[in-house]
Structure 1
Amino acid sequence: MDAALRAPTQWRPIAAGAAYARAVPRPIAAPAALALWTAASACGAPPDAAPGDASAPAPPDASPADAAPPDTPAPDAAAPGPDLTLNAARAIADLSVEGDTFAADACELDPAEACVGAPGDRRLLRFAVETPNLGLEDLQLGRPSADNPNYVFSECHGHYHFEGYAVYRLETPAGDLVVPGRKQAFCLLDWQKYAADDPTVSDSARYVCSFQGIQRGWSDVYEARLPCQFLDITGVPDGDYVLAIELNAEHRLPEMRYDNNVARIPVRLGDPALSGPTEPCPAEVDAYSTRGAHRECGWDALGTWECEPGRRLRIGCAAACGLGACTGDPMLRVCDPADPWGNCSATRALGANDDACGSACPRVRDVVCPASGQLAVYAAARELGAAYTCEVDLAYP
């Protein structure tokens, strides 16, 4: 997997040499939805390419990633430090059930990854994981290396990961294990600014895969489309379950607190809402967590367009691109309606787009018409619930 898939999202322009803001820090407040899904989660029944050396900061004298897991209790909450937590609303917004086929030599079957139980057709529960740092200080790990036992090189992702950063499990509502816990390693970086309205949080990304960490007020996001960002639920009967996600389970990384590192998300396998993107988004997810083409809810099916199998084409509702017209700020997702897995998820889509040609209207380019000779087109407002129109047209080069 190309490491470019893990390049940080920049929500604001970053000036060259911009200063790293370190005004008087304060803990970052978690949004209401996050508190709802992570507080008292143990109860089991919740309501639900690297910069050059000149620009990289100098490595710390003693990186937390070089230390053995601490034997001491969690630090005093009053002591400064990072505070990793989970944005459960993002996982909920991006949940989908889909199928995929894995060759015997797929990286997902490599013993170091062990994401699927066997080659062939597998049923997958996909979800995103966003981990904001809500603490008083950055989480700074520094440069990974082959001789550091806390890092492992991921063949699927093409870069070093911090080992065991997260653990994923599928449980019954009573807490019994259904799909065994799988440790997921992460390349920890500044993906997007989480505390958007906090003036003491820097607007500039600082950490990347070659110098890992998460700034105070920023979050790392592992999108559902990434390799191994799922649980293999092949053979699991339909019914009610709980997706459990836990961060820093072995306390290898020092934090201000550890009691906010678990999210337990109810999942009903077999629910049609998980088999397509057109169901309404759950009421408990917030605008921040649903903003963008990654979400798996709140899309509208616009219809099916015929195309010439094997030909490349452009499809959109962007007058600036010479294709149709739009109002508002819509997004577009294009799929093969004959896909045997039958789910137009972000992973199964032939293409998706938000803004194109200098406008707020979408255009998906370089789509190859599938053998079915049809394209299923879905649209949604970038901001959940906002008004939009999207008059679709397609064209060949």
Structure 2
Amino acid sequence: YHEGRGADAPAPPALPYALKAGRMAHLGDGPGHTDGSRIAPALKPNAKRPVGRASVPNVPKPDLRSLPAWDIGISDGEDGDVPGKDYMVFSANVWNAGPAPLVVDGFRSPGKDLMDAYQYFYDAKGKQVGYSPTGTMEWDPRVGHEHWHFTDFASYRLLRANQKEIVRSGKEAFCLANTDAIDYTVKNANWHPNNTDLSTACGQQSSLSVREVLDVGSGDTYTQYRPGQSFDVTDLPNGTYYIQVIANPEKRLHETNLNNNVALRKVVLSGTKGARKVTVPA
């Protein structure tokens, strides 16, 4: 399903990919991501947007971390991409090591295109004791999305061998959902998260409010096959590069640790235009 995957990333039992003429052709997110097969009720936001003075109390907070990219390959693009181009595609995951969940509500006025987003903080008994404005949510009308995205949750960048940025993915807004169990041994891990399905977690176009949660121990996986989300490598020279995954890139979210948000994966680009290849060193 792709070339040079490397021994560090074992294949899942059901892959959302097909091989077409030696290149990656993507069929969808797969069961339980956007197809509604994990029927989960939508989370309910607070009845009203928070009022009063914003505060960030000294209580447990989430710890967002990035996993190194995997499922790395070359594609000739999807609908909406430029024909004749070579795209480097990959999967990425940002997860929450805790000890507190990430809870974000979005609120908008009728007719507005953006929601105002707020992060909430809770004491040891689960009582909300503070909040902080944390950017916006935007409606994504594209097929395969069609839900509210929290902006600036993560960022994907392709770096040169000297780790200087060369290409940035257009994907920087996300519907948060607990698509994958990453580490349920961390403190306060929730073994039974509610919002595991993107098709139910992030609202409808008519929604005036949305709650998005990333529970402790779980992560949110995105496959990079949709238009604008992969790296255009058509004109890049062959050689060594790094895929960089950054959680909370603008540091708008409050965390226990901001020093563990970046993950790198080395890749080697080869081949010729229209027949590029990527290998992943062990």
TM-score by length of 2: 0.62
Residues of 1 paired with 2:35 and 2:105: CA distance? 17
With over 3 angstroms needed to count, the CA separation of the structure-2 counterparts of 1:180 and 1:128, relative to structure 1, is: closer
1:6 aligns with 2:34: yes
Report the counterpart of residue 202 of structure 2 in structure 1: 209
Q: CA deviation at 1:155?
A: 2.4
With over 3 angstroms needed to count, the CA separation of the structure-2 counterparts of 1:203 and 1:164, relative to structure 1, is: same
Structure 1: any 5+ residue segments left out of the alignment? 11-48, 107-115, 284-397
Aligned with residue 154 of structure 1, among 137, 140, 155: 140
With over 3 angstroms needed to count, the CA separation of the structure-2 counterparts of 1:62 and 1:135, relative to structure 1, is: farther
Report the counterpart of residue 59 of structure 1 in structure 2: 46
Report the counterpart of residue 74 of structure 2 in structure 1: 97
Residues of 1 paired with 2:260 and 2:254: CA distance? 13
Contact 2:157 2:169 in 1 (8 A): yes
Contact 1:83 1:134 in 2 (8 A): yes
Q: CA deviation at 1:250?
A: 0.9
Please show how residues 206-245 of structure 1 align to structure 2 within 5 Å.
Answer: 206-207=194-195, 208-210=201-203, 211-245=211-245
- SS of the residue aligned with 1:100? coil
Residues of 1 paired with 2:190 and 2:101: CA distance? 11
Please show how residues 162-311 of structure 1 align to structure 2 within 5 Å.
Answer: 162-180=150-168, 182-197=170-185, 200-207=188-195, 208-210=201-203, 211-270=211-270, 275=277, 283=282
Q: CA deviation at 1:198?
A: 5.9
Which structure has more RCO (C-alpha within 8 Å, separation ≥ 6)?
A: 2
Identity %: 25
Contact 2:88 2:230 in 1 (8 A): yes
1:120 aligns with 2:83: yes
Specify the code of the residue in structure 2 equivalent to 1:51: P
With over 3 angstroms needed to count, the CA separation of the structure-2 counterparts of 1:143 and 1:259, relative to structure 1, is: same
Residues of 2 paired with 1:86 and 1:184: CA distance? 14
Residues of 1 paired with 2:265 and 2:91: CA distance? 12
Q: CA deviation at 1:166?
A: 1.6
Contact 1:7 1:191 in 2 (8 A): no
Aligned with residue 93 of structure 2, among 99, 108, 130: 130
Q: CA deviation at 1:6?
A: 3.1
With over 3 angstroms needed to count, the CA separation of the structure-2 counterparts of 1:229 and 1:183, relative to structure 1, is: closer
Aligned pair count reads 212
Deviation per CA, 1:327-363, whole angstroms, max 9, x where unpaired? xxxxxxxxxxxxxxxxxxxxxxxxxxxxxxxxxxxxx
Deviation per CA, 1:76-123, whole angstroms, max 9, x where unpaired? 9x95100100111xx23x111121264xxx3xxxxxxxxx5xx32221
With over 3 angstroms needed to count, the CA separation of the structure-2 counterparts of 1:125 and 1:200, relative to structure 1, is: same
Q: CA deviation at 1:176?
A: 2.8
Q: CA deviation at 1:232?
A: 1.8
Residues of 2 paired with 1:8 and 1:80: CA distance? 32
Larger-Rg structure: 1
Deviation per CA, 1:200-236, whole angstroms, max 9, x where unpaired? 5333222322331100111111124455442122211
With over 3 angstroms needed to count, the CA separation of the structure-2 counterparts of 1:243 and 1:147, relative to structure 1, is: closer
Residues of 2 paired with 1:197 and 1:174: CA distance? 36
Q: CA deviation at 1:175?
A: 2.7
TM-score by length of 1: 0.45
Contact 1:2 1:158 in 2 (8 A): no
Contact 2:244 2:262 in 1 (8 A): yes
Specify the code of the residue in structure 1 equivalent to 2:163: G
Residues of 1 paired with 2:140 and 2:187: CA distance? 36
Residues of 2 paired with 1:213 and 1:230: CA distance? 25
Specify the code of the residue in structure 2 equivalent to 1:6: T
Residues of 2 paired with 1:217 and 1:9: CA distance? 22
Residues of 2 paired with 1:194 and 1:238: CA distance? 33
Structure 2: any 5+ residue segments left out of the alignment? 1-27, 117-135, 196-200, 204-210
Q: CA deviation at 1:126?
A: 0.8
Compute the RMSD of aligned alpha carbons.
Answer: 3.7
